[in-house]
Structure 1
Amino acid sequence: MLTYGLIGFPLKHSFSAKFFTEKFYREGIDAEYLNFEIGDIQEIRHILLLNQQLKGLNVTIPYKEQIIPFLSEISPETRKIGAVNVIKIERRPGDMYYHKLIGHNTDYIGFKQSLQPLIDPASHRKALILGTGGASKAVAQALTDMQIEWRYVSRTPENERFTYNDLSPAVISEFTVIINASPVGTFPQTEDCPDIPYTHLTPRHLLYDLVYNPEETLFLQKGKRQGATVKNGREMLELQALAAWDIWNE
């Protein structure tokens, strides 16, 4: 039986195993999908050695950047993004120690395809990206390719970034697309939300949360109360997962 899986920490929030297990059952595919919750990226070596039927991996928080030194190759578009969320594994028959790991990024595909129908070119010209981790890099590249100007927002000041204290009414009025690319608000911390001035949001705003568990985060609830358009990351998850499946089996 072929094996696919997910590496990250923690993995309680992830729907990937459920998504792929249902796909395998529905389509009669003889395969399994396992969660590998690891506390250190070095453990990837043991996973590869002990799971010889492993054909592909998804990568989630906090390893989308940490995994890169372990890879044999990175696709050109992934190198431009600087983060990996899909690994294709190639093995040599009879050699349990040989493996070639090829890194890809399907977060970019899923996010762009999910966001694009919601964009009003007249209103949505500038975006704030909350968080600076691996997922935010795919978001930034997608926005660049959609010709939407963007700025990162982080807790600590850094060149060309806003801090949360910088988010004045004027900034919120100018940046009408706000994307939560951080894990804030993910189950079980459902009472948490990014620290932005929600009272200054308007119906012109679009709030997109990469978090999909819970279905409606506090971030999205607060945006909806102000009349903003809101969307969670479930469709992005499904689109990126289907793109990963194509990569694993191309």
Structure 2
Amino acid sequence: MCRHIGYLGEPLSPAEVLFRAPHSLLVQSYAPADMRGGGSVNADGFGLGWYPGPGSPPLRHRRSTPLWTDETLPPLAAAVTAGAFVAAVRNGTTGLPVTEAAAAPFTAGRWLFSHNGVVRGYPDSLAELAKTLPVTELLTLEAPTDSVVLWALLRARLATGEDPLTAVAALTATVEAAAPGSRLNFLLTDGETLIGTTWTHALSVLETPAGVLLASEPLDGDPRWRPVPDHHAVRATAAGVDLLPSPQEPS
């Protein structure tokens, strides 16, 4: 499956985690260490989303090609500093399109979202949940993939003013009920709060005085990296980091 990274804290160059770390996202694209559920490389696209300043909507750079082939992102990432960003490399599910629009992070308004995993039985398994979305929303989805539908379902919850952590947890439980055995690791941020979930796939957290990193795999040998238990959620804000169990039943 995919690999993704989220950061929240003091301004940091994304290049530090995308390219310079010993087990950077670049390395994880061609030599991942913990690919649960199949796959050996993450070569079906990549993306970086970041916030250029406080209160600003996020900017993005995405491609449908392997990260190691892109000559644009390394200098771009090195020129940027941001207090929050999300980056991902994609290992697309068999049968789903390999397009730039299918690469995370996805965005709407102030939000950035990434999904590491797969919805079992897609698209049939999400058909009933998709009926809760406006037809125009379904007709204008940017790509016909499980991740994009999940993002549409989550956006609908966020648009009602639902607490982000509650929305993510509820979506996880609802999708698991509709498609048992799905792999549902999410990253979500609005630039002020960073949320990560574990549902079958791995996620680790590094908390330092400068900020918080969430990553599918630790970026280096720093002993402060901690694995997030399965079926849990992490919420990072300026006030600190909370680790919470995810609900098992839909709400």
Which structure would you say has the larger RCO, counting Cα contacts within 8 Å and 6 or more residues apart?
Answer: 2
Query: Whose radius of gyration is greater, 1 or 2?
Result: 1
TM-score, structure 2 normalization: 0.28
The structure carrying a bigger helix percent of its residues is: 1
